[in-house]
Each structure stands twice: as structure tokens, then as C-alpha cells.
Amino acid sequence: MNIVVLAGGLSTERDVSFVTGNNVANALRKNGHKVILLDVFMGYSNKAEDLTGIFERGPKVSAKITGISSEAPDLEAVKRSREDQSDSLFGPNVIELCRMADIVFMALHGENGEDGRIQAAFDLYGIKYTGTGYLSSALAMDKELSKRLFSANGIPVPAGISMEKENCQWDLKETGLRLPCVVKPCCGGSSIGVSIVRTEEEYQQALKEAFQWEEKILIEDYIQGREFSVGVMDFQALPVIEIAPLEGFYDYKNKYAAGSAVETCPADLPAAVTEAMQSYAEKAADVLGLTTYARMDFLLDAQERIYCLEANTLPGMTPVSLLPQEALAVGMNFEQLCEEIIQISMKKYR
């Protein structure tokens, strides 16, 4: 197959997306496919190009990849570096190349990539792509909406409120919540802008940090407990994985710095807890209408109460990512996982 692996973009998770995309592109080439790794924002060439036969020279025209920095990328600098200075998310030749592909492997993370906008555009252009559709992507991306749907369908979530920047409440007592609490952007990923708050001073600083990234945030009860994740592929839950950061919580640094967290799969849990968590993961996917694959994140407190935090519609595929580890636990290596995602995704178009 001719495949475009679409990465980069203008998300705070831009760097992570490139590493995901590079891993996926290499795996698909090993599987015998002709692959181009493409930055959705920078595109390919600013000149009029004859794209005939471009998949034959895929690696030569692919985006160049660097590692994941310890800080989120400077997106304004990224915008300034684009030669044509267009304000379109789609860089030169992106739509043309994607239309030429048999399928686009979505290696994007965060804004635009996971919020359904690119999926909707591709639907209009008749471009096939991996992962779930535009509506389910949008629902999962908005943590407030997804939490409401989870709660209404019997999936336990942490108590909390949403807050908009224009109506910011600087006095925690006025919110009805207590310390400790968690402050986070409503639609962001990779734990960027997330703070665990234990004092009034930390609360006000956390608001400033979260509002740097978005106009709407969530404030939730802090759940002291263990962190887990459960992948769902083709409506079936994978083994549960536990994430135990060596320091702090599972933030941006601990997610992507090798050796910063201990990950155990299958997780060491009582059978009943494992089954309940997997059941909640499958139900969460069903409630949001997620197809193909996704990953749900959970907390488990000392009383073995489960809380669903969010759904990820395009889970990371980096060397330390969770979904590949879960797949490996059932005997599916990385190349097989990438192939399975394509095959499941193609079902939408039959």
C-alpha cells in the first residue's frame, strides 16, 4: 500500500507526534508498504511539483525527525519558520499527497489531530485515514463533555467543575471544591498545563499555568492512588498497564523521558478490578462512539475505587508509549500493531 503517515502540526504535542510518526513509518516500511512521513503544517515543497512516483522515494521526501524536548514546542516559532507563511493548517501538497495514498496513518496528537477537524476535512475530500471519526474525536478531546457522558452512563469520574478564563474564580472556596485538587486544560494532552494543587497559592498559580494553554479548564478532586491505562482495539480491551512515575505524577517529562516511570503490563491487580477497569474502558469507547482503537486512562484509590480520567483517540506510539506495551502483552509486536490498526481502520470504508 501507499501510505502517508501524518504527523507534526500545530499542537503542544508536535514533538511527540513526530516520534510517533517516525516509529510508525519505519514499522510500515518493514511490513512492505511505501511510506511518506509528512508534517501536516509544513507539507512538502513550496514549488509546483510533479508528484508522480513520489511514494517510491518516500524516505527521501519524509519529514526530518528530532527527539522530544523536555519542554513543549514554541508554536509561534514553528509558524514563523514556514516559508509560504500561509495560515492554513495544511501545508503545501498535503491534501494532494493524502489523496494519492491508499490510507493516511494519523500520527497526530492534540489540537487539530485529535479534535476531529482534520478527520472531517478528510471525509469531505474522500481521504481514508486510521482511527475514529470526526464526531467521536471531538467528544473525546473535550474532557468536560466526555466526563459528562461517562458519568451519565455509569462510568465513575472525579468530581469537579469547568471554568472559563473570562469568569475565572481566583478564590478556591467559591468553587465548592477543597484542597488538594487538580487543575488542567480542558482539551490538552500529554499532561501539559496540569498541576496538582495543595495550597491556595498553588491554586492561583495553577490557574495561570492552565489558562496559558486554553480558555477553558477543569478543576477536579485530587484522587490519591495508582495510575493505569487500558487500550481498546476493535471494541475489545487490551491488558491493563500500570504507570508508576519515580517522581511526581505522570506529567509531560515522565511520559516521554526513558526510565522516568515503571510500567507494568499486565498490571498487578485483583482479577475483579482488572475486569471492571477493562469493562469501563470498553464502555467509555462505546459511549463516545470510538472505533478502531483508543486508550482510556484511570486512577485507582486505596479502597479500589476506579475513576476514568479521559479517552485518547490517537494514543502515542513512541518507544515508551503505553498502547504498544499492552499489545505486546497479548503477543502483538509493534509492526503487527501498526498493521492491525490499518486493517481495522479500512473496515470503515468497506
Of 194, 284, 187, give the one whose Cα is nearest residue 230: 284
Concerning whether 190 is annotated as a catalytic residue, the answer is: yes
324 preceded by a cis bond (ω within 30 of 0): no
Concerning whether 326 is annotated as a catalytic residue, the answer is: no
Concerning whether 102 is annotated as a catalytic residue, the answer is: no
The one catalytic residue in 44, 203, 222, 256 is: 256
Buried b (16+ CB within 10 A) or exposed e, 279-291: ebbbbbbebbebb
The one catalytic residue in 39, 111, 242, 310 is: 310
Concerning whether 76 is annotated as a catalytic residue, the answer is: no
**Residues 110, 164: Cα–Cα separation, whole Å:** 20
75 burial (CB, 10 Å; 0-12 / 13-18 / 19+) is middle
The one catalytic residue in 220, 251, 297, 326 is: 297
The one catalytic residue in 13, 111, 214, 326 is: 13
Residues 6+ apart with CB under 8 A from 234: 292, 293, 344
Please report, for residues 18, 77, 99, the alpha-carbon distance to residue 84 in angstroms, rounded to integers and kept in the order given. Answer: 21, 14, 22
Concerning whether 297 is annotated as a catalytic residue, the answer is: yes
The one catalytic residue in 43, 114, 193, 295 is: 295
Concerning whether 256 is annotated as a catalytic residue, the answer is: yes
Question: Quick one: angle between helices 117-125 and 134-141, nearest 10?
Answer: 170
The one catalytic residue in 110, 222, 316, 326 is: 316
Active site residues: 13, 190, 256, 295, 297, 310, 312, 316
